[in-house]
Amino acid sequence: MACYAALLHQPLASSLSPCSSSRRAGAARAPLRLQRAGTPSLASARAVARVRISPRCGASAGAGAPGEPPAAALRRLLDTPGAHQAPACYDALSARLVERAGFRACFTSGFSISAARLGLPDVGLISYGEMIDQGRLITEAVSIPVIGDADNGYGNSMNVKRTVKGYINAGFAGIILEDQVSPKACGHTQGRKVVSREEAIMHIKAAVDARNESGSDIVIVARTDSRQALSLDEALWRVRAFADAGADVLFIDALASREEMKAFCAIAPGVTKMANMLEGGGKTPILSPVELEEIGYKIIAYPLSLIGVSMRAMEDALIAIKGGRIPPPSSLPSFEEIKDTLGFNHYYDEEKRYVVTPAQSSYQTSYHDYTGEPSIPGDFRSTTEKPQEPVIDILPQLYDIGSSGSRGPSTGMWSRTLRLKITGRDGVLKIDAKIPAGFLEGMTRIIPGLAGANIMERLRNAPIDADNPQNGQILLDFEDAMGDRIQVFIA
């Protein structure tokens, strides 16, 4: 605590000095954090336990190595040369489009999520629960690392800890925490207010503690809105303090010129800097990735591009529909393109692995199922095995029907034959077999649709045609609960 107290009483001008030699680059700090969190083995086990399996294939440029935690993938990206662009998404579909376009990371935008999910402005109306629910859907839809916008942590330091742990469990690679008061709002709008220095620093410290307690290495992005709320000097002082408190990435929102951006990147040179290119008329100059890299930025957010073009495209489409037309082909992907984007073809390919053939049907039971006696190979064959002989006779000479051995009430029935035919609701023949009538009691236990039907009584009352024993009289003909048609004939 003494180091934070010293920072709070430090003159603002001194905040422009280079960071202390004790600070290390983000990549070098990660192992130390895991060590502080507990034993290395415990931290490693927790990290592995949180590995998320994306439903998408890992073939994209930004996909992490197999089994790599999201935070590790993001840290690996930040260690590579260049300034990395990361458009902001607001739902699973927009995140998937970011990945398909070849970007290696993306952000979530509280501004855009509030717009898309609530249809309301970014003025602190959306809650922690709504943001984390939306975020979980986003991280599950892609394999690239996602940095989540967590606003001001949704309360005091204890709320910040809960928020960090929740974002870790939701699969985020990084989390952005700002120092605005509640209710917060977009940093480029009017009336920004920030919490005190002390509280802002304690929020970052709480976030670091939550990360360590979770055995995670989620990337903490510390944002200050004090440039518009107070002054540039105050903003520079705060990001320096955030770096010393353990933040991995520093972010001053709504800087107003190149000079201010250069002054920011001179603070804590070993710590990653984030630029926010708010499209359409924000306070920060819009610069190219090359220009931003030259200034000193490492990661670049584009918060409004996707939500903005979506709004305009939907407005144009509605105008066309209202006028009795449909959107022009140039603005509307084909149905096949839409299906490809959503993964229909991948789904169909994978679905084939789990198709159940008629030979695997639950009705393809064995002689043992009906009688309780050992199965006899070749006694029961499905139509898929011999389609040219759909009717299967399973009446081997099991015993001498005229023998003195008794088989109970159905003894006389063993001299008669039944034909069981089951047709699926799709018209595919599942089974067509001849069976001894004495199997009926076993059949009623296996095929629930036969239960309750006094089929034995019907059989006793059925006449025997001595001249034409294959008379085909129907004893039962009905559909079961699965929609399959079950027919029992006298053979």
pLDDT tens profile 392-405: 544 444 434 444 44
CA dist 285 and 259 (Å) reads 11
Q: What is the pLDDT of residue 370?
A: 45
E-strand stretches of 314-413: 392-393
Distance linking the first and last C-alpha atoms of the chain: 92
User: Over 60: is that where the pLDDT of 487 sits?
Assistant: yes
User: Over 50: is that where the pLDDT of 36 sits?
Assistant: no
* Ranges 108-122, 183-197, 337-351, 438-452: which has the least confidence: 438-452
What are phi and psi for residue 79, nearest 5 degrees? -85, -10
User: Over 50: is that where the pLDDT of 333 sits?
Assistant: yes
User: Over 60: is that where the pLDDT of 171 sits?
Assistant: yes
Q: What is the pLDDT of residue 395?
A: 44
Q: What is the mean pLDDT of residues 211-230?
A: 96
Q: Are 320 and 331 in contact (CB under 8 A)?
A: no
Higher pLDDT: 12 or 362? It is 362
Q: What is the mean pLDDT of residues 67-84?
A: 96
CA dist 179 and 195 (Å) reads 6
pLDDT band at 480 (very low <50, low <70, confident <90, very high): confident
Fold of 70-316: TIM Barrel (3.20.20)
Using alpha carbons, select from 382, 379, 374 the residue that is nearest to residue 393: 379
CA dist 352 and 248 (Å) reads 45
pLDDT band at 434 (very low <50, low <70, confident <90, very high): confident
* Cβ atoms within 10 Å, residue 407: 13
Q: Looking at the chain, which residues constitute the CATH 3.20.20.60 domain(s)? A: 70-316
Q: What is the pLDDT of residue 456?
A: 62
Q: What is the mean pLDDT of residues 97-119?
A: 96
The angle formed by the CA atoms of residues 282, 255 and 203, to the nearest 5 degrees, is 110
E-strand stretches of 278-412: 299-302, 392-393
The structure's pTM equals 0.64
Q: Are 145 and 71 in contact (CB under 8 A)?
A: yes
What's the pLDDT tens digit per position in 283-325? 899 999 999 999 999 999 999 999 999 999 999 999 999 999 9
